[in-house]
Structure 1
């Protein structure tokens, strides 16, 4: 395939021959209208004759082939290195970066990757700037030009891929991860890059690669704002001291007012050291968003949340920008999202939230997994079969301490064939071959309703008898399942049958105390996701506690330096000086 950007003399010659042939054929038909000519001028056929590569293309071919041999065992057809190989093979190894216009757009776009929480040096920005002089230096060798071209192409394609689907492979951080990566058509993607190079619009590629949902732009804007604040010195820490309460006077009030104002909270027009009602309302709003007791008192927990440094909040935003690149493309149509760190479940229709409810999630040592599934059916008045882990760690100690525990909790003992056996026949110090099943009805650990979806972790959305725990600000109370505060409302949305399964119909079916399975007419996608930021009004961002400590390993992977795989191939020969 000829280079679409800089055609050589052979390309122009072939094109001229082809045009000449068409003109001659048209002239012959014009001389004898309505007849087929057998004696007139013959159409000249353009025959493409394979030409030797130019010196720069030859150098690119040689280095591409060296790379392919060195990575022959790597099965990663869509990795940046393999995409670079495909790009040049489809382009007959012709250089792509032949003028300063596209190169300058590329360098600018790579510098702006920092606004996405990514490191521009992962894309060899300094090295490209150092080598840029080869474009205008008549003494630059073909090898130097080839080296620059390979680095520029690798930087461009890798950065676009990272914006499109994330830098970090989430499966390396979480064994439960089963979300489909953002798919892309390699052939169309490479053609888009070639078209942008031909039109001189390389910079536009980067904006098109970013996630399109507005949430991504809000996260980028928040990151830029915090970095500006950090450059100005950040926010001043609040000094420790007695709990600060509304109506009191304290020198720390002015610092608190400024701190909340910097976080985007409306603090009113108050001045001085009086803790006034406007400041109290702002602090309560902050406390609610931090999942703290919203009492308006500046105690130790609230003080600690306020004093998290700006630098740490910047890192938190970077982690969630990467999660956004993994997940935002999944949010389409009708689906349910369990927001684990936000302790809520949200039902979306046409990509927009139409219902939400508070949830309880897994304890830190029994964390709710992150994965994707499809809700397929509901169980009304479910029984509960005790999972082995809960039996061993939670139930057995209680049975040993209290012989009446089984009866009090309506737990039956079943053998391996599902037959009920006497609890007295079991050696509870070392039981084997049994399972425990709790009868349906009030007090059942799953409540009166379970929303089920295929998974390997025995995790469900379900009702719970522990309704009082929904009043807590932070709710990591379960053994991994998701306890829903208003599950009947969600069931009605999922069944989507106002005639038979409206609120009254669901209540009547549950009131029968009969265990009943109800299939959904069509599966509804379910995403169990983990975010440690939240989008608020007017573009403001609030921050959540990282209850499972998932941000640090993600940030470590995000910060792991990436060296271009072409640096070892192209070498480190000094380029010509910048003009």
Structure 2
């Protein structure tokens, strides 16, 4: 067992062991035995509470360094925060006012509005323990549990319940500029000022998009509680001009979703109004807006409201991971939404459609900084594309390379005669496509350092932008209007205006030009959108990422319940291992 594992086991066993009944503590605590609760003054009893808290947390002090000396930007450990909190307040009890506990219990219940699970926080057990406190030992135990629950809930609201680095080993969205110590200090300042509710109100992202998701979640829950959305028969496509019972169901479903005005009298005709509503719904669902309610459209309409609730919850969790990054000037690629936007001073000033990686060559989720632009780029064919895509074409058609202006190169960069290459086993051969309008990267590439060889670029395959679902590339992001983005990235209206960019392209040279200022770029994955009026819209989960986040959200938290009637500290059986985080 490694050192970190041992420390975790020690902390978990000791912490769980102190969540026991007051009677058990009274039997084992020398402080309790020498100072009966009924024979000391209130001040002395408070001292005993503090001393008991200190003795409870003493084993953790040797297992973890204090929060204030731990590395910055790591995911916060709740036990470390609890220990650090009490150490810096000389182990004085924190939950001495009834109003603070009342606010805590109410705020824990309200975490449901943020898509979290209030059951994770053992609200009922906390309420019962609060009502049964009699001895200083019980007060100490309750105080520590309440503090741990308080900070755990606030950190879930602030940074998310699910650790994204466990879902993606390449996750690199470190909260640069967001010090966890500042968060924790803010939380405890609210507790010191007896305004616990304020801490819960300020913990989640304060951006408008998050507020809209919260409102959308509440509205969906109202729909669920009212019985859900009407179902539409899926046995055949519904088309304009039809008049039958299934169209009446379609009308009812569109009205329930806000796409049609409610009808006082049911109608079953598929008129122009219904056609327009279907097209609007299809556009939002990336289905192809033809106005015909075919199999894909009907399947989307029949997704349960419970599933849509979960979809919003998943994206609220992603918002808690990422929204702190959306500040100043940055580029954000919405992978599942097939679009890119440039923000300046927190506001979008440019948008464009994009093509992203196919599901089996998915565009990764990560952050970087745009550093330079390549004009008139050549294209070096990635090994995977060479083996899986190009070799079969070359073997079938010897003229394929010449027709596409692609040249074979050896390891030293020397050009090879294609006829001399063994295309059944072309080891050591690299393919490079010359610059030009038909180059696979188009006229320009926007580059940022990353381990995936991913970048934003122009493309000759412009016809694919007309598709609703654009997971068509081999991983890189094809941009519909890349020259507009380049002009905005340079942000130099004198030298790098539209005319200057065209002049650079016209010289035909492959050149790398550095940006005067690096621009952050975020490749993110969201499966919801917001309409202009704040209504939540749903996207297809093209890469199937939602399910793992949802599983994490639905897992019961590892927060220990205040088991007041437990006989004594739990111990690990011989050979038993702790289930660590």
Q: Scaled by the length of structure 1, what TM-score is found? A: 0.85
- The alpha-carbon deviation at position 566 of structure 1 amounts to 7.5
Distance in 2, matches of 1:145 and 1:573, equals 18
- The alpha-carbon deviation at position 120 of structure 1 amounts to 1.2
Matches of residues 214-229 of structure 1 in structure 2 within 5 Å? 214-229=208-223
Query: 2:299 corresponds to which residue?
Result: 304
Query: 1:20 corresponds to which residue?
Result: none
Distance in 2, matches of 1:182 and 1:125, equals 33
Distance in 1, matches of 2:238 and 2:308, equals 24
- The alpha-carbon deviation at position 479 of structure 1 amounts to 0.5
Distance in 2, matches of 1:537 and 1:77, equals 35
| Structure 2 unmatched ranges of 5 or more | 1-43, 569-581
Q: Is the 8 A contact 1:316 1:551 kept in 2?
A: yes
Q: Is the 8 A contact 2:175 2:324 kept in 1?
A: no
Q: Is the 8 A contact 1:366 1:480 kept in 2?
A: yes
| SS of aligned partner of 1:525 | strand
Out of 110, 113, 126, which is 1:112 matched to? 110
Out of 498, 504, 528, which is 2:499 matched to? 504
Rate the CA distance shift 1:219–1:404 in 2: closer, same or farther, 3 A. same
Query: 1:141 corresponds to which residue?
Result: 135
Distance in 1, matches of 2:380 and 2:537, equals 39
Query: 1:164 corresponds to which residue?
Result: 158
Which stretch has the larger CA shift, 463-472 or 74-83? 74-83
Which stretch has the larger CA shift, 256-265 or 298-307? 256-265
Q: Is the 8 A contact 1:124 1:151 kept in 2?
A: no
Q: Is the 8 A contact 1:464 1:483 kept in 2?
A: yes
Distance in 1, matches of 2:45 and 2:99, equals 28
Q: Is the 8 A contact 2:362 2:474 kept in 1?
A: yes
Query: 2:481 corresponds to which residue?
Result: 486
Matches of residues 368-383 of structure 1 in structure 2 within 5 Å? 368-383=363-378
Q: Is the 8 A contact 1:216 1:324 kept in 2?
A: yes
Indicate whether 1:66 and 2:64 are aligned: no
Q: Is the 8 A contact 2:120 2:559 kept in 1?
A: yes
Distance in 2, matches of 1:187 and 1:481, equals 37
- The alpha-carbon deviation at position 281 of structure 1 amounts to 1.3
Distance in 2, matches of 1:191 and 1:340, equals 35
Query: 1:247 corresponds to which residue?
Result: 241
- The alpha-carbon deviation at position 72 of structure 1 amounts to 7.7
Rate the CA distance shift 1:351–1:72 in 2: closer, same or farther, 3 A. closer
Out of 436, 439, 446, which is 1:441 matched to? 436
Out of 124, 143, 148, which is 1:154 matched to? 148
| SS of aligned partner of 1:105 | helix
Out of 276, 281, 286, which is 1:281 matched to? 276
| SS of aligned partner of 1:347 | strand
Which stretch has the larger CA shift, 500-509 or 199-208? 500-509
Query: 1:56 corresponds to which residue?
Result: 49
Q: Is the 8 A contact 1:334 1:348 kept in 2?
A: yes
Larger Rg: 1
| SS of aligned partner of 2:533 | helix
Q: Scaled by the length of structure 2, what TM-score is found? A: 0.85
Query: 2:90 corresponds to which residue?
Result: 92
Q: Is the 8 A contact 2:530 2:536 kept in 1?
A: yes
- The alpha-carbon deviation at position 378 of structure 1 amounts to 0.9
- The alpha-carbon deviation at position 422 of structure 1 amounts to 1.5
Distance in 1, matches of 2:326 and 2:188, equals 30
Q: Is the 8 A contact 1:165 1:181 kept in 2?
A: no
Query: 2:545 corresponds to which residue?
Result: 550
- The alpha-carbon deviation at position 191 of structure 1 amounts to 4.3
- The alpha-carbon deviation at position 53 of structure 1 amounts to 7.4
Out of 219, 225, 229, which is 1:231 matched to? 225
Distance in 1, matches of 2:283 and 2:191, equals 50
Distance in 1, matches of 2:441 and 2:46, equals 70
Distance in 1, matches of 2:187 and 2:444, equals 52
Query: 1:295 corresponds to which residue?
Result: 290
Q: Pairwise CA RMSD of aligned residues?
A: 2.2
Distance in 1, matches of 2:290 and 2:326, equals 35
Q: Is the 8 A contact 2:356 2:470 kept in 1?
A: yes
Distance in 2, matches of 1:384 and 1:514, equals 14
Q: Is the 8 A contact 2:361 2:475 kept in 1?
A: yes
| SS of aligned partner of 2:51 | helix
| SS of aligned partner of 2:315 | helix
Distance in 2, matches of 1:551 and 1:345, equals 21
Distance in 2, matches of 1:52 and 1:290, equals 63
- The alpha-carbon deviation at position 393 of structure 1 amounts to 1.3
Rate the CA distance shift 1:401–1:187 in 2: closer, same or farther, 3 A. closer
- The alpha-carbon deviation at position 70 of structure 1 amounts to 5.8
- The alpha-carbon deviation at position 516 of structure 1 amounts to 2.1
Query: 1:428 corresponds to which residue?
Result: 423
Rate the CA distance shift 1:489–1:565 in 2: closer, same or farther, 3 A. same
Query: 1:495 corresponds to which residue?
Result: 490
Query: 2:524 corresponds to which residue?
Result: 529
Which stretch has the larger CA shift, 555-564 or 255-264? 255-264
Q: Is the 8 A contact 2:66 2:81 kept in 1?
A: no
Distance in 1, matches of 2:490 and 2:178, equals 33
Indicate whether 1:204 and 2:202 are aligned: no
Q: Over residues 529-560 of structure 1, what are the superposed CA-to-partner deviations in whole Å (9 max), with x where a residue is unaligned?
A: 10000011322111000000000011111222
Indicate whether 1:79 and 2:80 are aligned: no
- The alpha-carbon deviation at position 174 of structure 1 amounts to 1.2
Q: Over residues 475-507 of structure 1, what are the superposed CA-to-partner deviations in whole Å (9 max), with x where a residue is unaligned?
A: 011000000111111111111122222222222
Q: Is the 8 A contact 2:374 2:447 kept in 1?
A: yes
